[in-house]
Structure 1
Amino acid sequence: MATMNFCVRPEMKDIDNLLPIYLIFQHKGKRFKHFTGLKVKAEHWNTKEQKVAEMNGQTEKMNHILSVQKIKLLNACQHILKSRKDAGIQEIKEAFYNDLFKTGSHFFEELALFIEESKKTKKESTVFVYETLIKDLKLFEDAADFRLNFENLTAQFYAEFVNFLERTLNNTNNTISKKIKSLKAFLYYASSKNLIKNSDFESFGTKTIDALKLSLTDEELERLYNINLSLNKELAIVRDIFAFGCFTGLKYSEIIKLKVDDVIEDRIIIINQYTYIKTRLPLNNYARHILQKYKPEKGYCFPLVQNVYANKHLKTLGKMAGINAPVKINIYKGEEIIQKTKPKHELITTDTARYTFAALSLRAGMRPELLVQVLGQKTINALLEYSYFSNPMKDFEMIDCWNKKNF
């Protein structure tokens, strides 16, 4: 039976001590969290009644917004399950957002069209950012009482929107950068259709900080590879796809699209989707074993698991494998640098597999110029940009090099 509840998130308190209000929907053991766009101080939230308590005349308005969102979610749930009882949570979520963010605005109609066209050529992760952007822009409209159109995309809008993303949605600099880049991509598209007359949007700046590029050690990979997942098929599939990436260096998007016809005489032969370099990758024993577990006769080698769900499962798998080493990370919000220490399993993503392959290959003695070819890169510099020469390999090589010296 589906359930939906409002709650505040104390762990996401912003610099003004405001807590975001989330609507949590659960169905068949799965759930999604929807940020309502509203924030309150702890003393203004009634946990028992799941609504805003007295707050300077804003109580009725905020509770009305919460009520409308809950009703829309309920209607979406009933409509989807009425037509198909075995419908999944993703279908309900999409129906809810389609209703919640529908608008007669020409701006949003064009943005929705841009997203649909992007699905034909863009990566899943890029389209996901576009879809998040349209929701954030609608939340911004409601919060700032600002109606977007192609004429008011000025420097003032940019400053207010970035401030909203940073302070209200609690986004980091890198997340904001992705959204601004996505917005600019849409506006260039709109400009090409002569929908936008001014070019102010071209000055919308972005600030991206190099993200942590995490790799597993031999021991950590071994523990994850050997977890007994006989009772959890979904986790087993994600583990196998991830391990296949660790053993081949293929990107997650390449593995998911890998076809039986791409494997010829124990070699994977594909064209890198970014560099367009043809790559011939021999299968080692570990990769071959994983591939043989699925034995598809035609079509794709592995079942499809969307990247966003794979990332969630990988954190669970990392925890099960005891990958708990503390990792220090920096989070950049505006000019503020927040330092945190997290257990390593919380930072594992599908990208970790490719970094792991590179780090462990170099440590095992593979020549960098050969690794560049295996990864489908054009130059050694491209390899350096991946930051593979980081812990633990950097420490190992530096200590080993100097310990051999005799003075």
Structure 2
Amino acid sequence: MKHKMSILFYAKSAKVAKNGLLPIYLRITINGARIELSTSRFVEKTKWNAEAGKMKGSSEEARLINTHLDTLRTKVYETENWMINNNQEINTQSFKNRLLGVEEKQRKLILIFEDHNKRMKELVGREFSINTLKKYETALSHTKEFLLSQHKIKDISIKQVDIAFINDFDFFLRNTKKCNNNSTIKYIRNFGKIIKQAYVNGWVEKDPFLNYKGKVKQTDRNYLTESELQDVISKDIQIQRLDLVRDIFVFSCFTGLAYIDVFNLTKENVIKGIDGEMWIATHRQKTDSLSKIPILPVSESILKKYKDHPECLNKNKLLPILSNQKMNAYLKEIATVCGINKELTFHIARHTFATTVTLSNGVPIETVSKMLGHTNLKTTQHYAKILDKKISEDMQVLKAKFNTNLQTRSKSMNY
């Protein structure tokens, strides 16, 4: 990082000693910010040359004081050269510490990242999901690999992370790790949280992410059509594990709950709603936002089916859900059995609720957003964009209505 530095020796009139002498001070200005240090030398006001920044004359006293000032000036420039040659960021605090021999505590990027992940791990299940932790652990792994590959080091001072470092890391993820745009941006954002933490703690003077231009590209969200959802519901599945997974997947299709939120459901989450009917009330683990969802008949029948399941009884679970990994593995089998040519994952159930079950059936987007637990309506609007088919069907009805009216008018006017 470029810097501008100047040096000035001056006699400080505001601090006249008892004997009438003025203390000589050293002022170092770095990028407009000042460091002021006492030289431990004093001079009569009439004997100080303010323009030259030294004592007048050639007396022994003048020679000793001016030699001392020259030594200090040399030490300042030597400090500057050392910091430049060792790729150290030069600011008033770091320069003063180096000049005076004060050992500055080195905040290291990887150590800070590891400490962040350690704290996050201890909060898994309360404030974070295991999947969120895994994303940060992967981002940490990529960061370590980047430092070794590009800089031949295992760690780096947090102060050396600048916009050039971030852009190089971005390129490394895309080129070396073969990450697509959205994966790259997500890893960079996880990395960015560590840098922002350092900025908030005062370990760096500014946030280098202010000039980072990476942007997530919106992708089409996969979901089941009405006929595909019906195929999954009505399919006769004799294998018990697949039948269980199908039921829980369908439950999510009619509630919009993500895997971790279904996993956390207990009987206490079933409440009587404002309409006197049974609702599910839960806080989404991802955002901690409240979701209140009326229980539709399909969901209700699934809850009744498993209310006496041993796991539900012993662990106070609403549904005996398997691990996310097993759920997704078995859903692939279900897709094959049902003849659905899509990569079926549990999260598709949430998308299906937003599109096929609610928006396509005229449920207002504000209501859907509230049930999904979105904190921003824009998030829900991404689902609305993929409903061109519904728009087309509605407009076909309107077009047919206009055509009928026009034909009637044409006949009455003998066209």
Q: TM-score range by the shorter chain?
A: 0.5 to 0.7
- 1:185-264 counterparts in 2 under 5 A? 185-197=193-205, 199-231=207-239, 233=241, 235-264=242-271
Matched with 1:59 is: none
Contact 2:248 2:319 in 1 (8 A): yes
Distance 2:266 2:397 in 1: 42
Distance 1:379 1:138 in 2: 34
Distance 1:118 1:391 in 2: 41
SS in 2 for 1:215: coil
Determine which structure has the larger helix proportion and give its number: 2
Distance 1:159 1:278 in 2: 37
- Do structure 1's residue 291 and structure 2's residue 303 form an aligned pair? yes
Matched with 1:397 is: 394
Distance 1:209 1:288 in 2: 37
Amino acid at match of 2:143: L
- 1:327-346 counterparts in 2 under 5 A? 345-346=342-343
Matched with 1:142 is: 148
Contact 2:129 2:285 in 1 (8 A): no
SS in 1 for 2:280: strand
Contact 2:354 2:383 in 1 (8 A): no
Q: Structure 2 vs 1, CA of residues 369 and 195 (structure 1 numbering), >3 Å: closer, same or farther?
A: closer
Distance 1:283 1:392 in 2: 27
Aligned-residue CA RMSD (Å): 3.1
Percent identity (aligned) = 26
Contact 1:372 1:380 in 2 (8 A): yes
Distance 1:281 1:397 in 2: 27
Deviation string for 1:76-114 (max 9, x for gaps)? xxxxxxxxxxxxxxxxxxxxxxxxxxxxx9432321221
Alpha-carbon deviation of 1:393? 2.5
SS in 1 for 2:293: strand
Q: Structure 2 vs 1, CA of residues 167 and 258 (structure 1 numbering), >3 Å: closer, same or farther?
A: same
SS in 2 for 1:248: coil
Contact 1:125 1:307 in 2 (8 A): no
Matched with 2:139 is: 133
Gaps of 5+ in 1: 1-104, 325-344
Gaps of 5+ in 2: 1-106, 273-277, 407-415
Alpha-carbon deviation of 1:287? 0.6
Q: Structure 2 vs 1, CA of residues 380 and 138 (structure 1 numbering), >3 Å: closer, same or farther?
A: closer
- Do structure 1's residue 358 and structure 2's residue 354 form an aligned pair? yes
Distance 2:332 2:400 in 1: 36
Contact 1:184 1:202 in 2 (8 A): no
Distance 2:337 2:174 in 1: 33
Distance 2:336 2:346 in 1: 15
Contact 1:180 1:204 in 2 (8 A): no
- Do structure 1's residue 301 and structure 2's residue 318 form an aligned pair? yes
Alpha-carbon deviation of 1:130? 0.6
Alpha-carbon deviation of 1:313? 4.2
Q: Over alpha carbons, which structure has the higher Rg?
A: 2
Alpha-carbon deviation of 1:173? 0.7
SS in 2 for 1:405: helix
Matched with 2:166 is: 158
Matched with 1:116 is: 118
Contact 2:220 2:386 in 1 (8 A): no
SS in 2 for 1:268: strand
Alpha-carbon deviation of 1:172? 0.8
Contact 1:270 1:279 in 2 (8 A): yes
245-254 or 357-366: which moved more?
Answer: 357-366
Matched with 1:25 is: none
Distance 1:106 1:304 in 2: 42
Amino acid at match of 1:219: S
Q: Structure 2 vs 1, CA of residues 123 and 276 (structure 1 numbering), >3 Å: closer, same or farther?
A: closer
Distance 2:367 2:199 in 1: 44
Deviation string for 1:181-236 (max 9, x for gaps)? 10011111233344445532443332210121222112111222344554362x44
Contact 1:115 1:127 in 2 (8 A): yes
Q: Structure 2 vs 1, CA of residues 133 and 246 (structure 1 numbering), >3 Å: closer, same or farther?
A: same
Amino acid at match of 1:320: V
Amino acid at match of 2:353: F
Contact 1:153 1:200 in 2 (8 A): yes
Q: Structure 2 vs 1, CA of residues 128 and 225 (structure 1 numbering), >3 Å: closer, same or farther?
A: farther
Relative to the length of structure 2, the TM-score reads: 0.59
Distance 1:276 1:145 in 2: 39
Contact 2:283 2:289 in 1 (8 A): yes
